[in-house]
Amino acid sequence: MLTPLALTRDQVITYHLPRIPIKESDVRKAGFEERYGAGAVELDALEALYPGVLADLVRDAIAPYRDMTLAERFEEVAAEALEVADQFWEAQMDAALQAELAPLQERMETLRHAVEVAMWRFHPTLPTRPEADTEPVDEETWLFDGQRDYLCQLAIYKARKHGQDADEPTA
């Protein structure tokens, strides 16, 4: 069964959609105009005069057939299924691993203890770290010295700015 969605008689009347003449050569003209009245209405007229109405009509028509929550519910179930599978896998692997390792447990504990003792006894003699090989720098002529107070620093800066040698003022 087909359900008319757009350009029904009621919609043409409700939206005052303009009619255009049907060509005389169209053999369906007489039957169409007998059922729907003179002239035809183009689908473009609805969208041109009322933008978005056609999309709303289609959306409303398919709404009963769509479950807008299905994707979210599917994601929740998928996450839950993954968690269940992970837990099951871990339990299976843990049990299998424990069964395989049980005969080796005593040897592993002995080995762990030996490694721990070796770690605490590990004190290699390392080579001496090299020092930087640089000449001492005369820092007396530096423009800024973080050891100076503000007024002393300002005086040296001003003297240097005027091309003078500034001796460090004494307090």
pLDDT in tens, 72-110: 999 999 999 999 999 999 999 888 888 888 888 889 999
Tokens standing for residue 42? 């183009």
Nearest to 149, CA basis, from 124, 133, 123, 171:
171
Structure tokens, 155: 């005086």
Write out pLDDT tens, residues 122-161.
999 989 888 888 888 777 777 778 888 889 888 888 888 8
Q: What are the beta bridge partners of residue 20?
A: 40
- From residue 74, alpha-carbon distances to 29, 67, 77, 82, 146 in Å are 51, 11, 5, 12, 66
**Please, what sign has the CA dihedral across residues 84, 87, 89, 92?**
negative
What is the pTM assigned to this prediction? 0.42
Dihedrals phi, psi of 132, to nearest 5 degrees: -70, 140
Separation between Cα atoms, residue 72 and residue 68, nearest integer Å? 8
